[in-house]
Amino acid sequence: MKHIIEVNGIKLYAFHGCLPEEGKIGGNYLVDVWMETDFQLAAETDTLENTIDYVIVNKIVAEEMAIRSKLIEHVGYRIIEKLKTTLNNLHQIKVKITKICPPINGDVENVAIIIEESIKKV
């Protein structure tokens, strides 16, 4: 049986990008986090300690998005690493960062990166 938890559409204003203006003006972002875990015990006992706390996921995403990077690829990597070291019982994780209205020469609604990783059990 697979147990999936998603925290989708985390809306943030951040200052990522290679252009100096992006560091000053900033822009809108959406972040989606998908996690495969085992929350059977939480389902049986109705206890938060036996599952992934959405508040912690949102907090980590917000903290990492607040650190300026040139590339959203770098931000995504940091988010994945922090979630892996903070959350217990992760089997697989996927993070999608969407940059709304990127400053590129064209009519583009958004650009996005997706990082997906299986967690090796030790």
Choosing from 2, 82, 99, 121, the catalytic residue is 99
d(CA 43, CA 41): 5
Residue in 96, 90, 118 with CA at minimum distance from that of residue 32: 96
Distances (CA, A) of 96 to 20, 25, 47: 24, 22, 28
96 in catalytic set: no
Placement of tokens 């809108």 in the chain: 28
Which residues are catalytic, by number?
Answer: 99
